[in-house]
Amino acid sequence: MAQPHGGGRRQERQTDKSSAARGDTTEKVVFINRCAKVVKGGRRFSFSALIVAGDHDGKVGVGFGKANEVAEAIRKASEAARKGMEKMSLHENTIPHETIGEFGGGRVLLRPASPGTGVIAGGGVRAVVEAAGIKDVLAKSLGSSNHSNVVKATIEALRALRRRDEILKVRGIRPANVDGKVEHS
């Protein structure tokens, strides 16, 4: 993995590459951070990795791992991401309705898009949406640009989604009778 140069500037790394496809789950490295601890003999470096894992069929999870080596941090993060995968409500290749997700200072707006639009999103939002299997969506990151908060806000936005039949069931309306006549059960 590439190491950042000195100068105190943190290297940001946003990649859409799949690091490892285990079974039908893909993992994407969103961000790797290098941290330096100054000790008697010089600097001691440690790494943290933010990974998004998904099965491209509505299940997605996020993981964070820290270690003294990049590979070990990525392994820990991908384990955590696969362990924390959740099922999201999708509608064909897009999302059922517009939603805003918030986590910490991060706010993410997700809008459904017509077929063929593609994923109009950047960085962490793109990684989460693609891992979930959404092919057409418009997204905008509104708040903080902190990678972790943006990814978790995207997960919150997807968690808030409900399909039409789910909403009708909660309201006690039979989905078959929605074409004008309302029947309550």
Q: Which domain range does residue 71 map to?
A: 18-86
Of 56, 47, 72, the residue nearest 127 (C-alpha): 56
Q: Is the pLDDT of residue 106 over 80?
A: yes
- Evaluate whether residue 100 is within a structural domain: yes
Of 89, 129, 90, the residue nearest 109 (C-alpha): 129
Of all residues in the chain, the percent with pLDDT exceeding 90 is 64
Span 74-86, average pLDDT? 94
Same domain, 110 and 127: yes
pLDDT of residue 131: 93
- Evaluate whether residue 162 is within a structural domain: yes
Q: Is the pLDDT of residue 93 over 60?
A: yes
pLDDT of residue 179: 56
- What's the CATH number where 35 sits? 3.30.160.20
Domain count of the chain? 2
- What's the CATH number where 97 sits? 3.30.230.10
Same domain, 39 and 99: no
Which residue has tokens 């910490």? Answer: 104
Q: Is the pLDDT of residue 89 over 90?
A: no
- Yes or no: say if 123 and 164 are a contact pair by the CB < 8 Å rule: no
Same domain, 38 and 50: yes
Q: Is the pLDDT of residue 10 over 60?
A: no
Q: pLDDT tens digits, residue range 120-152? A: 998 899 999 999 999 999 999 998 889 999 999
Same domain, 94 and 149: yes
Provide the H-helix boundaries in 7-111: 70-83
Same domain, 92 and 164: yes
pLDDT of residue 24: 82
How many angstroms separate the CA atoms of 180 and 182, rounded? 6
